[in-house]
Amino acid sequence: MSQYQPPIADFAFALEHVVGYPDLAKMPGFEHADLDTVIELLEQCGDFVAKVVAPTNRAGDVEGSRLLPDGTVATPAGFKEAYRQYVDAGWGSVPLPEEFGGGGFPRTVGLVIQELMTSANMAFSLGPLLTQGAIEALLHYGDAELKQRYLPKMVTGEWSGTMNLTEPQAGSDVGALTTRAVPKEDGSFAITGQKIFITYGDHDMAEQIVHLVLARTPGAPEGTRGISCFIVPKFLINDDGSLGKRNAVATVSLEHKMGIHGSPTCVLSYEGATGYLIGEENKGMRIMFVMMNSARLGVGVQGLAVAERAYQQSLAYSQERRQGLAIGAPGPDSAIIEFPDVRRMLMTQKAYLSAMRYLMLLDATYVDRSTNDPDPAARARAEEIVGILTPICKSFGTDLGNELTSLALQIQGGMGFIEETGAAQHVRDVRIAAIYEGTNGIQAADLVGRKLGVRGGASILELLATMREVEADLAGAGVEFDSIRQELSQQFSVLEEATLWMLRTGAGDPNAVLSGSTPFLRMWGLCTGAWMLARAAVAAQATGDAELAKTQLVLARFYTQQLLPQSASLLGAATAGSADLFALDGDQLAGSGRKVRT
């Protein structure tokens, strides 16, 4: 497995020239997070993850986490030591509130740190990601006492956090959960039930684990309306803040998974465990969505981050592996990077990675604007844009994570299929990301079911109009940008056609728009990615850096000419409706539909 090289120069260009970070850093609360300070911080973080976290990736995959006979979980060799250094360095606290010991940096900076950490070791990075989601929920809904008791050590990373949603009978249908929360005389609750697929549900890296658990109180309404959210700590906390006795939550087993072996995925049993209500009863879904929305953009970054690591490995292999003779080469043989199809696969990876990185960072800047822009109207509009971009980032990013890690393996041929090279680990590890935090089908349903109709469709159409402004920028940038502008214009028009169809059809035939939601989201992913690459190409030209300008122009041109045309081809699938999807029953799907002669 090749060494991970943090792409700090790519981050610096994206932040300064593509997503407008310098303007963000001028907003109230972010004045200390100027671009120079951020780049210096990211350089230090990149050095840390490359030297401390990345070396644990392969060992974590081979060894995996283990459930010990005493019911505790042991993480792979090196994880505890790396996590201690992570806590001591304060990397997890960078984007969190200063009030509780954080650095108060924008979420955008935290997202870059997350990409670095995930590229280094996805399995390791999942613990901090879930902790951040739990912190967000407490910040929004916890009372003062809960915040003061839990947040300071969660912000430092000394204590980790989890999300406990899923149960054996209730996967994505959270409303079917049955875990019970019975009030006790002291104001706490007794939590009883079983939760599955709990990432870092138990481990040996942090001294305390703070579980956020969804459960039902007595007499609660059926379905999602009757769900409440509780803090259930692994260890009860004494009045002086020290850790007390073990709470009544046990690890039943660890899941045996396709990938991310270093991350313990637990089945947890709550046996009358002491829990504390967060917010009001029956408001658990609101709290859950704070956790999940925080995590969804982060999961999209997982697709980008693992694909980046896989790309670096495939690029290094293509430069070292000599086989055959390229056309016009003097011989005796050529590095495989000299063959057109290998170049196609490398360019596909690099163009998609750049587009994804710009899009994820743009979404993150709007998250920061939605909280810190002094103009209420700007905050409200930023929140709308986040609502649109987040399901796109999560779904498009993780779908591409699957596709690009597979391409990276393909470049390495038979050696990629051999476990010892590490290429297969990237494919296995990233596969879960399209399932995490609401499957990608759920993201597509969210886009057409919730986000599309905001302000009668005006919100998403305004975003499309904003995207089309880049056409004028391209027209003024020179003739070498013409092919990019022309293709973008055509694809934006087709995307608008699909969007208008969705808006017309949704109210009368919701099944039709749900049937086309996944290809529709893919169209948005392809087009927003092209928009960002076009912005980057224009911005790079203005820097005066000839090499940078050439790279960004070629990437934008390659993407618009060879990848973006897929978008228009999806119009038929997006607008086909549901008739053919439901025309065959289960028996007909199992067979050819033709009877056997007798």
Catalytic positions are 437
Which residues 6+ apart lie within 8 Å of 149 measured at CB?
A: 237, 241
Supply the DSSP string of 415-448, one letter for each residue: HHHSGGGSHHHHHHHHGGGGTTTS-HHHHHHHII
Query: With b meaning 16 or more CB within 10 Å and e meaning fewer, what string describes 63-84?
Result: bbbebeeeeebbbbebbeebbe
- Helix 458-468 and helix 482-506: axis angle, to 10°? 170
Q: Residue 264's CB: how many other CB atoms inside 10 A?
A: 30
Other Cβ atoms within 10 Å of 328 Cβ, number: 7
CB 311 within 8 A of CB 2: no
SS3 content of the chain, % helix, strand, coil (to 5): 60, 10, 25
Task: Return the closest-CA partner of residue 96 out of 475, 371, 396, 373.
Answer: 371
Give CA–CA dist 18/538, Å, rounded: 9
Could you give the dihedral angle defined by the CA atoms of residues 430, 436, 442 and 444, in that order, rounded to the nearest 10 degrees? -40
The DSSP code for 250 is: E
Tell me the DSSP string of 294-342. Answer: HHHHHHHHHHHHHHHHHHHHHHHHHHH-B-S--TT--SS--BGGGSHHH
